[in-house]
Structure formats: structure tokens, C-alpha cells
């Protein structure tokens, strides 16, 4: 993606109100007052920025451009081996108008792995930590209509002695400048981690008194809603203010919304005040809640709501902010997770941004951006996962963009954002930088209902976990917490002072059944030539599918392979095996529709095994592990065939099923041999049950004949699942172990 900007690109965003049925007039505000205009000055440019390595000569650079080491940059690429300590970006900015009382802020989407920011040689702020948004105030330094030099000094992780989180970073065609590493590009241990300025950089001009942040806190258990507000007075005068929150429907539904009381506060010059509105009673029922898209429907839209907060001084609105949210509550059961009190299980991916086809992939790849005339965008990405039965994604050691989370909110796709903290790879503990990273992640993601929990770190150092628990809970105490474990090796939880986190295990056997919350954060891995001792690596997509179904039987609440681009390199729009940095795949080619991609046998296998209402013959499942030809059992006429069938209800409602079965000769459409029904099978959402199917094997006029067993699961009159591909051998004489 190329940005062209020869000067400052200025656009205005006017926040409009959405009317709702029960809104009363803003009687305390001036009727002719208008919502304020927020000005955004975009500093992205292909031409305006220059860069210097370790105070050397200047050269042109695109910003953001995927970071200074991106292959989007002009040749020659800036090799990380050439950077001993820092790089410096510079450009000229000119804010032509800055009215008295207005505030100018420079806002970054991320600078990796930390930076100092200067205006005309004066330090205005520093931020340490990768991939997280941050901002600094420029107001007192800006002279309208005057050129100012902006400099950003960006540092790699070795500048901080590896005490700053540094995410999924492996060697590419370079080595760390201060140490040798064991990996090289040819072995596939590579990443496209973006160094320097990423995501966005712009200047916002906002009112002198403004709503700095909103945190919406719904409770399904209490059936109430509270809102935390941070109000900032950047003027040099004390201010008496009136705050009015109002609710409306993003979907334009007609809910009976509660009304908040009008709040009055006084702020000293320069003061930032946190206040809470509510709680107010939420009387709308479960149909107003945010629910995951399970079972998946193409046209599903989650129920979302807006909270509009107006800030007024002397009856004149001075700021207005709208925050979208979902009325949802994520909690834990004894060995599973709950959404709004209902058990929810997840088969997931663990998407590593820096292993994909582009630097700064979440900001630049069409797979994570809005749709265009020629691309389908992020909504299609989340739908592709859900069509397969993959209902969640761990955003591995990175930070999802607001747009990615917005689309997940709307489509009912579940996200697990993860900090860039890694418990190995030469990363050292720092008492400020690492806890700060967890807090910044929660602040970025906490208003998104699709965020079902946070992952505190990958390949965790267990002793770091308690501090991270307590840190993230200061910002968002409403989500369950986990850590990705490759050191403890068994189901466990770690406690902090304010909460706890459960282990998501890597490459070990899982309990059968789970007795506490147990997730397999990484299990199957398509890795040809894998190291001895790494369980379940090399079996490909079939292995991931098989164990996903098996874990469902044993109450494993979360299962993910590592990772889906290993199984299907071109799964997402714009992705390509050759362009991926990560080359550990044992499937080193793109998939082709109808052959090994969409509408192929392996994809149909995923759609079946990950189906929310799967009916599984447990005996055949255990016989047919990945990589084998299909094996079945042989029966004789007159024998009683007894099969254990696992029936799943991984939807979020209704628990009464009927199982219909038929036995047919030679094919699924062959001559009927027997049939029956098992009625009134009660299964609560998220659970499964085993039912025995028994019938006498009919007589056959042919030796060694196939008898197909067709299984149908229904809720009421609606067909939920069909299995018509399993069969048994019927032999009139001797038992033969059938293999095809």
C-alpha cells in the first residue's frame, strides 16, 4: 500500500448523534450549540520524512511504511545489522491554525521498540514498548503558521538491554548486532517485525476541555451498566462542567434504555478527573446482549449500543464523544469459560502478525483493512475462520487495530489480544516496561465486546505472571486472564493479589477430561523435520482438525494449532507462501480451491469436526488418527451393533435434541436396512453427551459388504448436523479388519 502526501493532509471528523426512542431534549444545554469539530492532521507521507542511522547521513523514508526495515521502503532496505543504537526520523510540520483554548496532541500508533520525540530540539516525551498507541501534548510549543521540526528517535530492543517487550522477533537476513543467534532465514525462523514508526502518526486538534477516555462496564449478572469517564481541563482556568451520558442503539433497535443522571464537576487548571456514571439498571433482555456468532451465520450482526457523552460549560457543549460497546460479560466456570452466563468453547488460531506476508501487517494488509472495490477486507477474514468452525483468534504477541476489533465486534468473532512479552528469546524482566505493556493492551482493547480475555505473555516465565495480573487488572478487571505456557507443562492457575490466570499449554498431552480450565494454546504444528520431543508437529491440517475434535470430547475449553498460515499459507486475502516471513511450514505451497483448499476433502473434514452440533462415533474417531487410511470395524449378521455417539451442543441456546439414524447398504443412498430415533436428548450449551446406539445387524446376501450409518441431529424440526460418510463391514463368515 503506497501513501502519497506532499504536504499535510487535513480532514474533519464531525461526530453526529444517533437518535433513540427514549431520548429527552438536552434542556440543560444551549439549543444552538453544535458538536465540536476535531481536526486530524495526518503525518503519513512518502516524501516528507527523512531518516538517519546512528546520526549518520540522511535518506528518504516512507512513514509509517511498515517500519524503516520494511520491504515497502525504497532500496536499499535498512538492515537491522546496521543499527547499533538508534535511528532518527525528521520532518517539518506546520499547524496553520490553533485557536486559543485548543489542544494539539501528536498521536502514534506505535514506535518499536521505544522512542524519544522532539519538537525544535526540545524533548516533548518518551515512550518505551512496541506496538502500543501513545500521545504527547504539543500545545505550548506550537506557533500557528510556523514551520517546526519534528524528530522521532527510535530504538531497537538491544538499546534497552532486552528489558523491553519485543514480541515475535526472529532473525531475518541479519543477526542481532550484539549477539549471535541460532536461527537463520533458510531454516525458517524469521519474522517481519516492523522497526520504528508503525500504524499511524497524526496530530489531533481538540477542545481545551475534553473527554479523554471512556470505559463502559456492563454486568449481565447484576444487569446494570456503569461508565468510567476521564475529563481533562487543559486550560489555565478552573471550569464548572455538566456531563450527560445517553444511550442509543448502533443497530437502530428500539430498546428501553435506562437514563443516566446528569453529573456536575469542577476541574482545576490542568486537572484530569476520573468519574463514574451509574450504575443504571439494564432492563432489556438477552436479545440485547452481545453474543458470539455460534453457530455461524453469514448475515449475523451482533447487537451493539452507543454511549454518547456530552460535556457542557454554561449550557454550551464543548465536547462530545461516542463510545460503541456490547452488553456482555465474560466469566469462568469450573473448567470452562462463560459468555453472559452460558458456556462457550473455542477452536482458535494464533495469528503472528510479523510472520505474515507484510511488515506492519495489521495496518497494511488488505486482509485486515476496510474493503475496497477490489478487496474484501477484515470482515471477510473473520468470516473465513468462522466458516471453518474457528471462532476465535489469539492476536499473538501483537496489538489488534481498532478496525480489526470493530469488525470482530460486529460479526461476533472472539479475540484474545496478547502482550508482546515473551518468556524467552533473550527477553529480560523490567519492573516498569513489562507491566506497562499489559496495561496499555487492556486500555486499547477493553471497550470491545469481542475481547473475551487477555493473554499476559507467550511462552511465559511463571514468576512474571502475578505482577502482570495485578497490572492489567488496574485497567480492566472485567476479563479472564491466561498465559501461554511452555515451561510448567500441566494444567494450572497462577494467582496475583487481584486475580488469577490459567495456563494455555504448549505441545504436551492434555488431561482427559479437564478438571480446571485447560487450554491448548499451541498444539498441532505443521513443521516438517521437527525437533525430537516436540509433540504433534508435522501432521498438518488433518492433525489440527483431529485433535480439535478430540479435545472437545474431553472438555478442553480452548484449542489452537500453531498457526493457521502453516497449514494454509494463502488462507487470507493478499497472503502468499512465498511472501511469508515464517517458513516453518510442512505445507510449503498455496492451497487451491476444490483440490486442497475450499471445497476440498480436508476442508470438509474441518467443517465437520469443528461443527457446533457434531455427532461423533467415538470408536471410529479413536481408530482413525491423522495420517492413516480409513479404518472401520466388521460385524456379522445377527450381531448387536453398539456404537457410542458423542452429541455436541456448541451453540449458545436450546438444549433438546433428537438423533435420527439410518443403516443403508453399500452407500449413504443405498437400500434401507434399519432406522430409529433417540428422542429428548438434553444437552446444555457448551456440553456434549454420549448416547449408545444399538441395533441388530441385518442379514446380507453378499460377503464383505458395506453398511453405512447415517446420523442426523435435530432441534425441533431443524436439521443441525448430518453424518453420512461412516460405514462398517458386514461379513457373513469371518471377521475382517476393513481398511481402504
Q: What is the pLDDT of residues 62-108, one digit of tens each?
A: 999 999 999 888 876 777 778 899 999 999 999 988 888 889 999 99
Q: For residue 24, is pLDDT > 70?
A: no
pLDDT the model gives residue 167: 86
Query: Which residues touch 537 (CB under 8 Å, ≥6 apart)?
Result: 507, 524, 525, 526, 527, 530, 531
Query: Which residues touch 36 (CB under 8 Å, ≥6 apart)?
Result: 206, 207, 317, 318, 319, 320
pLDDT the model gives residue 2: 40
On the CB side of 467, how many CA atoms lie within 13 Å of its CA? 15
Q: Domains in the chain and their CATH numbers? A: 36-206 (2.60.120.260), 210-325 (2.60.40.10), 330-610 (3.20.20.80), 616-730 (2.60.40.10)
pLDDT the model gives residue 532: 64
SS (H, E, C) 200-241: EEEEEEECCEEEEEEEEEEECCCCEEEEEEEEEECCCCCEEE
Asked if residues 110 and 399 have their Cβ atoms less than 8 Å apart, the reply is yes
Q: For residue 179, is pLDDT > 50?
A: no
Query: Which residues touch 695 (CB under 8 Å, ≥6 apart)?
Result: 640, 641, 663, 674, 676
Over residues 609-626, mean pLDDT: 95
φ, ψ for residue 287, nearest 5 deg: -65, -15
Asked if residues 596 and 691 have their Cβ atoms less than 8 Å apart, the reply is no
Over residues 267-278, mean pLDDT: 94
**What one-character-per-residue DSSP string does 659-699 give?**
EEEEEEESSTTS-EEEEEEEEEEE--TT-EEEEEEEEEPPP
pLDDT tens profile 329-383: 999 999 999 999 999 999 999 999 999 999 999 999 999 999 999 999 999 999 9
Alpha-carbon distance of 729 to 443, in angstroms, equals 59
Asked if residues 491 and 514 have their Cβ atoms less than 8 Å apart, the reply is yes
Band the pLDDT of 526: cuts 50, 70, 90. Answer: confident
Q: For residue 662, is pLDDT > 70?
A: yes
Band the pLDDT of 25: cuts 50, 70, 90. Answer: very low
SS3 content of the chain, % helix, strand, coil (to 5): 15, 35, 50
Q: For residue 173, is pLDDT > 70?
A: no
Q: For residue 176, is pLDDT > 80?
A: no
Band the pLDDT of 7: cuts 50, 70, 90. Answer: very low
pLDDT tens profile 483-498: 999 999 999 999 999 9
pLDDT the model gives residue 60: 93
pLDDT the model gives residue 535: 72
Band the pLDDT of 740: cuts 50, 70, 90. Answer: very low
Alpha-carbon distance of 443 to 472, in angstroms, equals 9
Among residues 708, 193, 187, 731, the alpha carbon closest in space to that of 422 is found at 193
Task: Map grid coordinates 443412498 to a residue.
Answer: 669
Q: For residue 118, is pLDDT > 60?
A: yes
- Give the containing element (helix H, strand E) for 363: helix 361-364
pLDDT the model gives residue 14: 29
Q: What is the pTM of this model?
A: 0.92
Higher pLDDT, 34 or 188: 188
Alpha-carbon distance of 260 to 157, in angstroms, equals 47
pLDDT the model gives residue 76: 63
* β-strand pairing of 50-53 with 87-93: antiparallel
Terminal C-alpha separation, the chain: 50
pLDDT the model gives residue 191: 86
Cell numbers for 323, please give them.
463510545
* Strand, helix or coil for residue 539: coil
Q: What's the mean per-residue pLDDT of the chain?
A: 89
Band the pLDDT of 524: cuts 50, 70, 90. Answer: confident
% of residues, the chain, pLDDT over 70 = 90
Band the pLDDT of 17: cuts 50, 70, 90. Answer: very low
Asked if residues 479 and 415 have their Cβ atoms less than 8 Å apart, the reply is no
Asked if residues 117 and 196 have their Cβ atoms less than 8 Å apart, the reply is no
Higher pLDDT, 174 or 475: 475
pLDDT the model gives residue 78: 76
Cell numbers for 352, please give them.
503472528
Point out the least confidently predicted range of 11-25, 208-222, 439-453, 563-577.
Answer: 11-25
On the CB side of 543, how many CA atoms lie within 13 Å of its CA? 22
Q: What is the side-by-side strand order in the sheet with 114-119?
A: 58-60, 50-53, 87-93, 148-155, 114-119, 122-128
Among residues 547, 548, 550, 584, the alpha carbon closest in space to that of 567 is found at 584
Point out the least confidently predicted range of 342-351, 669-678, 728-737.
Answer: 728-737
Rg of the chain, C-alpha, whole Å: 28
- Give the containing element (helix H, strand E) for 411: helix 402-411
> Residue 154's beta-bridge partner residues?
87, 115
pLDDT the model gives residue 23: 33
CB atoms within 10 A of CB 146: 11
pLDDT tens profile 56-72: 999 999 999 999 999 88
Would you call 141 exposed, middle or buried from its count of C-beta atoms within 10 A (0-12, 13-18, 19+)?
middle
φ, ψ for residue 618, nearest 5 deg: -65, -30
Point out the least confidently predicted range of 50-64, 186-200, 333-347, 669-683.
Answer: 186-200
Amino acid at each position: 500500500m503506497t501513501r502519497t502526501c506532499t504536504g499535510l493532509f487535513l480532514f474533519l471528523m464531525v461526530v453526529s448523534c444517533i437518535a433513540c426512542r427514549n431520548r429527552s431534549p438536552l434542556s440543560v444545554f444551549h439549543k444552538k450549540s453544535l458538536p465540536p469539530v476535531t481536526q486530524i492532521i495526518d503525518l503519513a507521507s512518502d516524501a516528507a520524512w527523512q531518516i538517519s542511522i546512528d546520526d549518520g547521513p540522511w535518506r528518504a523514508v516512507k512513514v509509517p511504511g511498515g517500519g524503516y526495515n520494511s520491504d515497502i521502503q525504497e532500496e536499499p532496505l535498512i538492515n537491522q545489522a546496521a543499527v547499533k543504537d538508534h535511528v532518527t526520523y525528521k520532518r517539518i510540520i506546520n499547524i496553520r491554525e490553533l485557536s486559543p483554548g485548543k489542544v494539539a496532541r501528536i498521536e502514534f500508533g506505535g514506535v518499536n521498540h521505544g522512542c524519544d520525540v522532539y519538537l525544535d530540539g526540545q524533548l516533548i516525551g518518551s515512550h518505551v514498548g512496541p506496538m502500543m498507541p501513545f500521545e504527547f501534548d504539543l500545545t505550548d510549543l506550537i506557533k500557528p503558521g510556523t514551520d517546526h521540526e519534528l524528530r522521532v528517535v527510535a530504538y531497537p530492543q538491544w538499546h534497552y538491554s532486552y528489558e523491553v517487550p519485543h514480541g515475535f522477533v526472529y532473525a531475518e537476513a541479519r543477526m542481532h548486532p550484539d549477539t549471535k543467534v541460532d536461527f537463520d532465514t533458510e531454516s525458517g525462523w524469521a519474522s517481519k517485525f516492523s522497526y520504528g514508526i508503525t500504524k499511524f502518526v497524526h496530530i489531533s486538534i481538540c477542545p481545551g476541555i475534553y473527554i479523554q477516555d471512556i470505559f463502559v462496564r456492563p454486568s449481565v449478572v447484576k444487569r446494570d451498566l456503569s461508565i468510567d469517564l476521564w475529563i481533562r481541563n487543559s486550560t489555565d482556568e478552573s471550569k464548572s462542567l455538566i456531563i450527560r451520558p445517553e444511550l442509543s442503539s448502533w443497530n437502530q433497535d428500539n430498546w428501553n434504555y435506562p437514563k443516566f443522571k446528569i453529573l456536575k464537576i469542577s476541574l482545576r487548571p490542568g486537572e484530569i478527573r476520573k468519574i463514574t456514571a451509574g450504575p443504571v439498571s439494564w432492563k432489556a433482555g438477552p436479545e440485547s446482549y452481545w453474543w458470539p456468532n455460534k453457530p455461524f451465520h453469514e448475515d449475523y450482526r451482533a447487537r451493539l449500543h452507543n454511549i454518547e457523552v456530552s460535556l457542557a460549560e454554561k449550557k454550551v457543549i464543548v465536547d462530545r464523544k461516542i463510545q460503541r460497546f456490547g452488553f456482555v460479560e465474560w466469566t469462568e466456570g469450573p473448567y470452562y469459560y462463560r459468555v453472559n452466563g452460558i458456556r462457550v468453547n473455542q477452536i482458535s488460531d494464533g495469528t503472528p502478525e510479523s510472520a505474515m506476508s507484510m511488515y506492519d501487517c495489521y495496518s497494511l494488509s488488505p486482509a485486515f483493512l476496510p474493503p475496497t472495490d477490489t478487496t474484501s477486507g477484515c470482515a471477510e477474514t473473520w468470516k473465513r475462520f468462522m466458516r471453518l468452525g474457528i471462532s476465535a483468534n489469539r492476536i499473538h504477541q501483537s496489538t489488534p487495530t481498532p478496525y480489526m476489533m470493530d469488525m470482530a465486534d460486529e460479526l461476533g468473532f472472539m479475540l484474545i489480544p496478547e502482550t508482546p512479552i515473551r518468556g524467552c528469546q533473550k527477553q529480560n524482566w523490567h519492573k516498569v516496561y513489562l507491566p506497562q505493556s499489559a496495561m496499555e493492551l487492556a486500555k486499547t482493547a477493553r471497550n470491545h465486546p469481542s475481547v473475551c480475555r487477555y493473554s499476559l505473555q507467550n511462552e511465559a516465565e511463571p514468576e512474571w505472571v502475578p505482577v502482570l495480573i495485578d497490572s492489567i487488572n488496574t485497567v480492566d478487571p472485567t476479563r479472564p486472564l491466561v498465559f501461554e505456557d511452555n515451561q510448567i507443562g500441566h494444567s494450572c492457575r497462577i494467582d496475583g493479589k487481584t486475580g488469577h490466570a490459567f495456563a494455555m499449554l504448549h505441545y504436551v498431552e492434555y488431561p482427559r477430561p479437564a478438571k480446571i480450565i485447560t487450554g491448548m494454546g499451541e498444539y498441532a504444528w505443521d513443521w516438517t523435520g521437527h525437533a525430537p520431543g516436540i509433540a504433534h508437529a508435522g501432521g498438518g491440517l488433518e492433525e489440527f482438525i483431529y485433535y480439535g475434535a478430540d479435545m472437545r470430547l474431553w472438555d478442553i475449553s480452548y484449542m489452537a494449532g500453531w498457526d493457521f498460515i502453516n497449514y494454509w499459507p494463502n488462507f487470507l486475502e493478499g497472503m502468499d507462501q512465498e511472501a511469508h516471513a515464517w517458513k516453518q511450514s510442512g505445507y510449503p505451497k498455496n492451497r487451491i480451491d476444490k483440490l486442497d483448499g475450499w471445497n476440498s476433502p480436508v476442508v470438509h473434514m474441518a467443517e465437520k469436526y469443528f461443527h457446533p452440533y457434531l455427532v461423533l462415533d467415538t470408536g471410529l474417531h479413536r481408530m482413525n488418527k491423522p495420517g492413516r487410511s480409513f479404518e472401520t470395524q466388521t460385524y456379522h449378521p445377527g450381531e448387536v451393533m453398539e456404537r457410542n455417539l458423542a452429541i455436541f451442543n456448541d451453540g449458545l441456546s436450546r438444549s433438546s435434541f433428537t438423533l435420527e439414524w439410518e443403516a443403508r447398504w453399500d452407500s449413504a443412498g443405498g437400500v434401507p436396512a434399519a432406522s430409529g430415533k433417540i428422542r429428548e436428548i438434553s444437552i446444555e450449551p457448551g456440553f456434549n453427551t454420549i448416547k449408545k446406539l444399538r441395533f441388530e445387524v441385518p442379514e446380507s446376501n453378499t460377503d464383505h459388504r458395506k453398511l453405512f450409518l447415517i446420523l442426523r441431529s435435530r432441534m425441533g424440526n431443524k436439521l443441525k448436523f448430518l453424518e453420512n460418510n461412516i460405514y462398517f463391514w458386514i461379513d457373513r463368515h469371518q471377521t475382517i479388519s476393513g481398511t481402504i
